[in-house]
Amino acid sequence: MSDETMYKHMKDLPSSRLLGTGTPMCAGCGGLLAIHQIYDILGEKTVLVNAAGCMTLLAVYPHTPFRGSWLYTSMASAPAGAQGVRDALDVQLARGRIKPDEDLQVVVLSGDGAAYGMGLSSTSNAIEQDLDFIYLCYDNEGYANTGQQSSPATPHGARTSTSTGPRGFGGHKKDLFAIWAAHRPAYVATVIGTEPVDLARKIEKAKGLKGPRLIIALSPCPTGWDFDPRETVEIGRLAVKTGIWPLKEYENGKVTHTKLPSRRAPVEEYLVKQGRYAHLFKPARNEAMLAEIQAGVDGYWAEVEADHG
C-alpha cells in the first residue's frame, strides 16, 4: 500500500476503531494511529508495560485490545517493571521452562510526561543496565490525560492549561532523542503515524535488535492541541514537511535523517491549524514569536545540512 493510499484510509477511521475495539479513546488520536501500526509489526509475542497515561484507557480490566500481555505501572515505574519482566523471562529461558521461540519482546508504552520527565531517572538506569527492551513513547507534547498541562515535551510558544499567557509556554521542548543517544543504546528513532513506510522500516529494525531501543512517535492530539480530529493526518504531514518533526535514527554512534524535506514549508502552516497557537495569530500576529520558532527550525536544519556537506 502506498503512503497516499494509507493516508486516505487512515483519515476516514475514527481512532476508537484502529485497534479493532470500541475503546473510548479521543477521535483522531495520533498516538493511537502510530501504536496501531507499530503493534501490527511487533505482534502478539510482546509484553506491553504501560506507564500511566492516555493509553491506560485502552485497558478496561480484565481486557485489553492487544493479543499479547499487558502490565500496568505508575508513571515513573515502567522501566523497572520492564526489568522485572525481562529478568523473569530470562530465568524461565535459562531453566528450560520456556523455549527460545516462546520468548517475548518487552515493550514500555509511555506518554511524554513519563518518558521526558517523571520516568527519566529509571529509564536512564535501565539503559545503563543494557536492558533488552523497546521503549515506545507516544509524544503528544503535554499531560494530555489530565487536561493538557505543559510537560517537558511541550514546544516553545504553545498554550497549555498551565501556560496561558500571551506568549504561551516559555520553555523549550526537551531533546529526548539526544538524551537517549548520549547513553549509547542499541537504537533510537523518531516516527509519526502519517509516515507509515518510514515507521514500518524503523520498527522492523528495532524488533531485530537487542538492548535498549527507543521509538518516539509524535502524536497529534485533537483534544490537547485544539484542532478538528479530521485534521490529524494533515497536521502530522505538516510536522514533517515544515521540519518541526525531523525523522531520524541513531545506531552505532551515528545519527541519520531518514527524510530530508527538499523544500520546507513555513512553520506557520503547521502552527495556524492548532488552537494551542491561536494567540500567535489573533487578535494580532506575534511576528517576533513566529520568527523565533521559525529560526529554531531553520537553525536545526542548517546544522543537519552542514553535517551532510
Position with higher pLDDT, 58 vs 219: 219
Average pLDDT, stretch 111-140? 96
User: pLDDT of 266-280, one tens digit each?
Assistant: 999 999 999 999 999
Lowest mean pLDDT among 6-15, 28-37, 273-282: 6-15
Tell me the one-letter amino acid at 68.
Answer: G
- Residue 17's pLDDT is 34
Average pLDDT, stretch 106-125? 96
Q: Which domains does the chain have, with CATH numbers?
A: 3-307 (3.40.50.970)
CA gap 153, 172 in Å, rounded: 8
- Residue 60's pLDDT is 81
CA gap 142, 139 in Å, rounded: 8
CB pairs under 8 A, 24+ apart, for 292-299? 292/156, 292/157, 293/155, 293/156, 293/157, 293/267, 294/266, 294/267, 294/268, 296/156, 297/242, 297/243, 297/244, 297/264, 297/267
- Confidence class of residue 128 from pLDDT cuts 50, 70 and 90? very high
pLDDT value at 5 more than 60 = no
- Residue 64's pLDDT is 86
CA gap 287, 280 in Å, rounded: 8
Average pLDDT, stretch 21-45? 87
- Residue 253's pLDDT is 96
Model confidence, pTM: 0.91
- Residue 90's pLDDT is 97
- Residue 62's pLDDT is 82
Query: Mean of the per-residue pLDDT values for the chain?
Result: 91
User: pLDDT of 40-89, one tens digit each?
Assistant: 999 999 999 999 999 998 888 788 888 889 999 999 999 999 999 999 99
Q: What is the DSSP string of 1-27?
A: --HHHHHHHHHTS-GGGTTTS---PPT
Average pLDDT, stretch 20-28? 66
- Residue 308's pLDDT is 73
User: pLDDT of 180-201, one tens digit each?
Assistant: 999 999 999 999 999 999 999 9
- Residue 7's pLDDT is 40
Average pLDDT, stretch 17-28? 59
- % of the chain at pLDDT higher than 90: 83
- % of the chain at pLDDT higher than 70: 92
CA gap 112, 152 in Å, rounded: 8
- Residue 309's pLDDT is 61
Place of cell 513506510: 197
